[in-house]
Amino acid sequence: MVLVEHSRNGSTVVLGGTLDVRCTATLRALVYDALAEGHDTVVVDLADVDSVDVTTLKLLAVASRSAQRQGRRVVLRGCNSGVRRLLHLSHLRALLAVEPPHRFETPVRAV
């Protein structure tokens, strides 16, 4: 699943399902097209992604580096623990801006 949303502040590419080497050409086109439209920030929303491989993360890291050279940024949003772990293990975490995870507060009941 792929959805591209635009706002005044930037563009959001919403992804879902499995991201692997088979979808890199499509993903590359989406991210670079959003950057070419002149948005300062392109957010890649991974909240609905089931799994991701290193090839996809490398693509996003290269896009981020390219954006930085133009004074723009690529930001990852909604990374699950598996994506975060792979970013760490692949040493790509330092190359990508990642929004902190949202913490849902659960009310504490008094017993």
CATH code for the domain in which residue 87 is found:
3.30.750.24
Distances (CA, A) of 12 to 43, 62, 109: 5, 18, 38
More confident residue, 8 or 97: 97
The reported pLDDT for the residue numbered 101 is 82
pLDDT average, residue stretch 40-57? 93
Q: Is the pLDDT of residue 96 over 90?
A: yes
Q: How far apart are the first and last CA of the chain?
A: 44
Reported confidence tier of residue 106, pLDDT bands at 50, 70, 90 = very low
Q: What is the DSSP string of the chain?
A: -EEEEE-SSEEEEEEEEEESGGGHHHHHHHHHHHHHTT-SEEEEEEEEEEEE-HHHHHHHHHHHHHHHHTT-EEEEES--HHHHHHHHHTT-GGGSEEPPPPPPPPPPPP-
Share above pLDDT 90 across residues of the chain, in percent, rounded to a whole number: 64
Domain that holds residue 34: 2-98
Q: List beta partners, residue 51.
A: 18
Q: Would 16 be classed as within a structural domain?
A: yes
The reported pLDDT for the residue numbered 99 is 94
Q: Is the pLDDT of residue 105 over 70?
A: no
Q: Is the pLDDT of residue 44 over 80?
A: yes
* Count of structural domains, the chain: 1
